[in-house]
């Protein structure tokens, strides 16, 4: 049986090559200027966002994943980073609306440039691929459901970590010193 990783890598590369990261500098500035950073996403997207929250903590930033019991009180000067392919997931839309009402800055990574979440965001990175709201005949991936967005999201998040490492003068060693030792 053939392993299909080359198909997956080709799909990811094609998506990222046509995506819009023109607001990346602003996106990074918002992360760096925030006191508390919250991240969220639903389902598998949420898992990708959790990995980003972990790396932000390894960078020495104060970051929490929405839904964890350790989320501190937040308000003005704090940031919510949303991962949402469709930008319409009701639970995530509700979180974005509450965050805005509590004076948090909201930024997102999405496929849907004109979605509710995108419109609530002051900065966005747009991964140009289909999402759960697209018609099935528009699918561009052989992978099921929203897998291509989730994979591309993880790559984008990890590339942001590299940018943040440079901005914060962090290294693998300095980040490792903040890594959990109880595993």
Which of the following is catalytic: 105, 150, 177, 183? 150
CA pair distance 97, 93, nearest whole angstrom: 6
Active site residue 14: no
- Cβ atoms of residues 142 and 130 within 8 Å: no
- Determine whether 120 is exposed, middle or buried from the number of CB atoms within 10 Å of its CB (0-12, 13-18, 19+): buried
Tokens of 107: 């930024």
Sign of the CA dihedral with 145 first, then 148, 151, and 153 last? negative
Tell me which residues are annotated as active site. 150
């Amino acid at each position: 049986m053939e392993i299909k990783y080359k198909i997956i890598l080709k799909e990811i590369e094609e998506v990222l090559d046509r995506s819009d990261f023109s607001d990346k500098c602003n996106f990074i500035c918002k992360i760096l200027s925030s006191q508390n950073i919250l991240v969220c996403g639903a389902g598998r997207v949420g898992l990708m966002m959790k990995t980003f929250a972990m790396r932000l903590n390894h960078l020495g930033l104060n970051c929490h994943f929405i839904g964890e019991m350790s989320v501190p009180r937040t308000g003005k000067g704090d940031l919510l980073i949303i991962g949402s392919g469709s930008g319409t997931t009701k639970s995530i839309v509700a979180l974005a609306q509450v965050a805005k009402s509590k004076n948090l800055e909201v930024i997102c990574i999405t496929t849907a440039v004109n979605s509710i979440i995108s419109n609530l965001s002051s900065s966005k990175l747009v991964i140009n691929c289909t999402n759960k709201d697209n018609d099935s005949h528009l699918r561009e991936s052989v992978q099921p459901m929203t897998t291509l967005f989730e994979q591309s999201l993880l790559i984008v998040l990890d590339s942001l970590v590299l940018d943040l490492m440079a901005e914060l003068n962090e290294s693998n060693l300095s980040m490792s010193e903040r890594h959990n030792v109880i595993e």
